[in-house]
Chain A
Amino acid sequence: MDAHVLSGAEGPLLAVENLRTYFYSRAKRAFIRSVDGASLGVARGETLGVVGESGSGKTVAALSVAGLVSSAPGVIGGRVELHSDRVRRNLLDGLERHVRVKEEDGRVVAVEKDERGWRRRSETLMAGVRGKEIAMIFQNPRSALNPYSRIGAQLVEAIRLHTGFKGEREAKERALHWLERVRIDSPRLRFDNFPFGMSGGMCQRAMIAMALCAEPSLLIADEPTTGLDATIQSRIVDLLGELKAETRIATLLISHDISVIQRLSDRVAVMYGGTVVENGPAAEVLGRDAAARHPYTAALLASIPGAETIRKKSYLQAIEGEVLDTIEVPRGCRFYGRCNRVTEGVRGRCASAEPPLAEVASGHKVRCWLHARGADA
């Protein structure tokens, strides 16, 4: 459906197509379609910001790309094409034959997965990729760092594993270099610190150093500022911005915080109900007065108190209803139930068929029937 993913001048470094990752909820006795046909691409040197509310599938999509989904059934289909200087492959290549999905009326009723065969194949595909080509920083840095190991030792281990700096001494020099680059002061002192002796902001800096020290092609930053204090958040965003300018590393940045996405992203993908509903240049998708945008993006932006709302002390424009639960995916548009822009002209289509991602401007796509006039319905 979304075969033609956006491509930069050199072709995208990462192209995710029709990714599907499901989980089984025992409590609800149903399959949850966390990621359900998401497509996105990251060009070299570009930061793609992924926004969405909790349950929209953004984190699961990132974990799927990094091959870190452990719950069953997990990733069940799609393509994750990684085209870096060292690796060119579909990280989900051939995995589909280990999975069979049975669906009835938009509800997944059974997933048969040969877990061992799938995992073996996946580990082969991910060898030399995870940690090396694709590095990740997580929301809670303290839990991602080893609490029993000193910061320096953890960095040295990663450097010796992933880079050409194999000697103890040169690896240590390299580690100190990275601590400096993430602006941790007195790196020589911090080198011997344990994570518990460091503040949240400092742990996040160490985590960023850990991720970047392998010199990966793609950095996945999952809510890198969430849970940190406002002033520290701002500094981490500044740091990520500086590192982006210095290293030109391609980044998949996930955040529910639109201001963070605005500050760091070149392009933005908006996720809702497990799929990408809008995708385009950051200024166009999140800009103040973008003409064509998905009703969900518009509503999301409107629900944040802006200067005007605060000045007039008016009520916020809330999105009515609740975030879509992705067990029973509606036949039509996933946002239809909460959408306030449905016109009589499109209502029938909104209720009955999922709109395609249609191009509204160069490199800017929207999954909405209001913008799909050119597309064949």
Chain B
Amino acid sequence: MSGTLLEVTDLRKHYSQRRGLIPALTGQGRVIPAVDGVSFYLRENETVGLVGESGCGKTTIGRTVLRLTDPSGGRIVFGGRDITHLSRAALRPLRREMQMIFQDLDAGLNPKMRVRAILREALTVHERPGDAEIERRIRELLEQVNLKESKLSNYPSELSGGEKRRVGIARVLAVRPRLIVADEPTSALDVSIQAQVVNLLRELQKNLGLSYLFISHDLPIVELVSQKVAVMYLGRIVETGLADDIAHLPRHPYTRILWSSLAGKQSTEVSPRGGASAGDRAWGVFDFEQPAAGCRFAPRCPLYQDQGRPAVCTDPASEPPLRDLGKGHAVACHFA
């Protein structure tokens, strides 16, 4: 068993929102708990998939883990070192070990720089190699990401989506990271190119021993690349376990709905015409400022309806904790 590379405990990130004149003057903003007590760990050479719908906090976790944004609470331990409160300066040497691939294909690609200059810059951020060494490393990176050498003289705008992604990955690999947070790395790409990039990321993991925190809403791809999966809902992990178990033996009603909605099946869990859940009222609108008291998922939960709306689900004092089911499988539901 390989060692733990990243351990996150009770991570919190709250954004305050001050809307309108009076809150701005009185300083009474509303607090949005984007991430609200999340714990997980990632081992060397392992991929943990983070899934959930937009607004559930998965990108915020990725950014907070890398300290691109400061956490409001909790603890982040990377490579055995508590980095929760490290200063910018103290973080700098660690930056090269943890990198992020952004959803936006153009992120990190300076439009005024040719690919060669972009890679050169990435190679010289943390060290000062000689020109021959830089050339050697550029060639190595091109080989690793399977990009033609002729592309070195292109500007980002002259590249296709897949090529941009490859340059973005090469740029990240230039600093030889151990952990890569991949935030929706394929969602901006066409299906046929998605497959190329997914294969590339897995190949790199095999060859370089990388660890990935893989953030995506594309469940089949998450299932394919991850050993473990955490399902998030409104800032909390509602279910976590081995990828196979989460995909084939999901316990939390939200995980089930998420999976069935993508498996191309009809979403039979909630009748499209049935009473209160008919439209998007309960379904589409999240209230981040005031998550439902008790279980956050209760207002949308088919199980809650089936069980005859038990009081425990909406009891403010009993938000369901992640309950261990064995084999690393845990679910935050009173009834699942």
Residues of A in contact with B (beta carbons under 8 Å apart)? 27, 53-54, 183-186, 199-202, 205, 229-235, 238-239, 241-242, 256, 258-259, 262-263, 299-300, 303-305, 309-310, 313, 315-320, 322-323
Residues on the B chain within 8 Å of A238, using CB: 266-267, 272
Residues on the A chain within 8 Å of B220, using CB: 304-305, 310
Query: Quick one: which of B137-169 are within 8 Å of A by CB?
Result: 157, 160-163
Contact flag A323-B160 (CB < 8 Å), given A234-B262, A303-B195, A310-B223 = yes
Which of B28-36, B75-83, B207-215, B274-282 forms contacts with chain A? Answer: B274-282
Interchain nearest-CB distance for A323 vs B (Å): 6
Q: How far is the CA of A334 from the CA of B330 in the complex (A)?
A: 50
Contact flag A229-B191 (CB < 8 Å), given A183-B279, A262-B264, A316-B224 = no
Interchain nearest-CB distance for B278 vs A (Å): 5
Residues on the A chain within 8 Å of B135, using CB: none
Contact flag A319-B195 (CB < 8 Å), given A201-B283, A231-B258, A305-B224 = yes
Contact flag A303-B194 (CB < 8 Å), given A200-B284, A202-B284, A230-B53 = yes
Q: How far is the CA of A318 from the CA of B190 in the complex (A)?
A: 11
Residues of B in contact with A (beta carbons under 8 Å apart)? 53-54, 157, 160-163, 190-196, 198-199, 202-203, 217, 219-221, 223-224, 247, 257-258, 260-262, 264, 266-267, 272-273, 276, 278-281, 283-285
Q: Are B267 and A205 in contact (CB under 8 A)?
A: no
5 new A-B contacts, CB < 8 A, other than A234-B267, A303-B194, A315-B199, are A27-B157, A183-B279, A234-B262, A305-B220, A316-B199
What are the 7 tightest A-B residue pairs by CB atom distance, in nearest-first order?
A: A234-B261, A185-B279, A199-B284, A303-B195, A318-B195, A319-B192, A316-B195
Q: How far is the CA of A292 from the CA of B234 in the complex (A)?
A: 46
Q: Are A313 and B224 in contact (CB under 8 A)?
A: yes
Contact flag A184-B280 (CB < 8 Å), given A303-B191, A303-B195 = yes
Which B residue sits closest to A200, measured CB to CB? B284
Q: Are A235 and B217 in contact (CB under 8 A)?
A: no
Q: Are A202 and B195 in contact (CB under 8 A)?
A: no
Contact flag A232-B160 (CB < 8 Å), given A238-B272, A315-B199, A315-B202 = no
Residues on the B chain within 8 Å of A54, using CB: 161, 190
Q: Are B163 and A183 in contact (CB under 8 A)?
A: no
Q: Are B279 and A229 in contact (CB under 8 A)?
A: no
Contact flag A323-B190 (CB < 8 Å), given A199-B285, A230-B217 = yes
Residues on the A chain within 8 Å of B266, using CB: 238, 241
Q: Are A239 and B262 in contact (CB under 8 A)?
A: no
Interchain nearest-CB distance for A106 vs B (Å): 21
Residues on the B chain within 8 Å of A258, using CB: 191
Q: How far is the CA of A201 from the CA of B272 in the complex (A)?
A: 14
Q: Are B273 and A231 in contact (CB under 8 A)?
A: no
Q: How far is the CA of A29 from the CA of B267 in the complex (A)?
A: 48
Q: How far is the CA of A14 from the CA of B96 in the complex (A)?
A: 57
Q: Are A183 and B272 in contact (CB under 8 A)?
A: yes
Q: How far is the CA of A215 from the CA of B53 in the complex (A)?
A: 34
Contact flag A263-B264 (CB < 8 Å), given A229-B217, A303-B192 = yes
